[in-house]
């Protein structure tokens, strides 16, 4: 079972990355092999809509291959103006029409404010479904994300760690169920 975690933030110390780290470790604990890609480390050009996505320069081909090889995806984004980050949207746009097909997807979104990031989660679910992925029911919106982790990156918000652990575990559980049907 291979899970690819995609951190959709350009900040290397992002709360999105911290949250996805908790979910990723939970997925590993129930038997998944997890690889994490932080988009801040990749050279991804802007998507121009070309028909052959493998013809892009930079790290696009490696990114596409990592997504294709995964059985499931954990995707996270900070909330920017009520939606996902531009770098994550661009990365998803660079994927071909078959890269996410029939993959299980778990989503996380972080926000600075009290309202959380439900719109970001809605947009992520919509995009992943449009790409023929299966978004699992468990999802995590983190309000006041900057207060949810301590200086060492540990979860300090009540109940948040349990939500993130459940997300990682559920992604693996559903992916195993889907895999048995293939």
Q: Where are the domains of the chain?
A: 2-180
CA neighbor of 102 nearest in space, from 126, 76, 73: 73
pLDDT tens readout for residues 93-136: 999 878 999 999 999 999 999 988 999 999 999 999 999 999 99
* Model-wide pTM > 0.85: yes
Question: At the fourth CATH level, which superfamily is domain 2-180?
Answer: Flavodoxin domain (3.40.50.360)
Cα(63)–Cα(38) distance, integer angstroms: 11
CA neighbor of 149 nearest in space, from 11, 14, 5, 6: 14
Is the pLDDT at 179 greater than 80? The verdict is no
């Amino acid at each position: 079972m291979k899970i690819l975690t995609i951190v959709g933030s350009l900040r290397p110390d992002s709360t999105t990355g911290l949250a996805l780290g908790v979910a990723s470790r939970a997925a590993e604990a129930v038997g998944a092999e997890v690889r994490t890609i932080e988009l801040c480390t990749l050279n991804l050009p802007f998507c121009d809509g070309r028909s052959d996505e493998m013809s892009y320069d930079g790290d696009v081909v490696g990114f596409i291959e990592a997504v294709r090889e995964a059985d499931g995806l954990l995707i996270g984004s900070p909330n920017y103006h009520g939606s996902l980050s531009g770098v994550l949207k661009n990365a998803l746009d660079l994927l071909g029409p078959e890269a996410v097909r029939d993959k299980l997807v778990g989503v996380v979104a972080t926000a600075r404010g009290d309202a959380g990031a439900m719109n970001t989660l809605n947009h992520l679910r919509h995009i992943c479904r449009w790409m023929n992925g299966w978004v699992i029911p468990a999802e995590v919106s983190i309000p006041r994300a900057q207060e949810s982790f301590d200086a060492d990156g540990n979860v300090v918000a009540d109940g948040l760690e349990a939500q993130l652990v459940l997300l990682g575990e559920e992604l693996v559980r559903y992916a195993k169920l889907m895999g048995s049907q293939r």
